[in-house]
Amino acid sequence: VQLQASGGGLVQAGESLRLSCAASGRTFGSYTTGWFREVPGKEREFVAAISFSGKTTYYADSVKGRFTISRDNAKSIVNLQMNNLKPEDTAVYYCGADLHGYAGSERLIREYDFWGQGTQVTVSS
């Protein structure tokens, strides 16, 4: 599985960005896909995930109500719509593929098998 993240940038607080992750390799509709973020000096943290079918979504409490994850299995793309961005959302965002998902694994970084290269999101106050 190869993942290519894009869509990061510099915005002001309150603005929006949409991240995209394009996948290739294994059948896209067969695995859970997630977004994590990382800032220097801290562990990579869970942001959002979506089941292989797209029917179930998961969010970190810090982004619930502001971020929306979606996927288009026909195009092998997962998107993360980020609204009302805050300075604390500043991070490098990574998309990941969880090929052997089980209940609860979507939030666990150690369960992800493949990662994209990351895209920088910077939110100024």
Pick the closest to residue 3 from 28, 29, 23, 26 (CA basis).
Answer: 23
What is the mean pLDDT of the segment spanning 83-93?
Answer: 98
What is the mean pLDDT of the segment spanning 11-34?
Answer: 94
Task: For residue range 106-122, list pLDDT tens digits in order.
Answer: 999 999 999 999 999 99
What is the mean pLDDT of the segment spanning 30-48?
Answer: 96
User: Within 10 A of 113 (CB to CB), how many other CB atoms are there?
Assistant: 13
- Locate 116 and state its tokens: 């994209």
Residue 101 has pLDDT above 80, yes or no: no
Residues across the chain: 125
> Which pLDDT belongs to residue 44?
96
Say if residues 1 and 99 touch (Cβ distance below 8 Å): yes
Sign of CA dihedral 21, 94, 83, 91: negative
- Locate 97 and state its tokens: 């593929």
pLDDT band of residue 103 (cuts 50, 70, 90) is confident
User: Within 10 A of 40 (CB to CB), how many other CB atoms are there?
Assistant: 6
User: Within 10 A of 102 (CB to CB), how many other CB atoms are there?
Assistant: 10
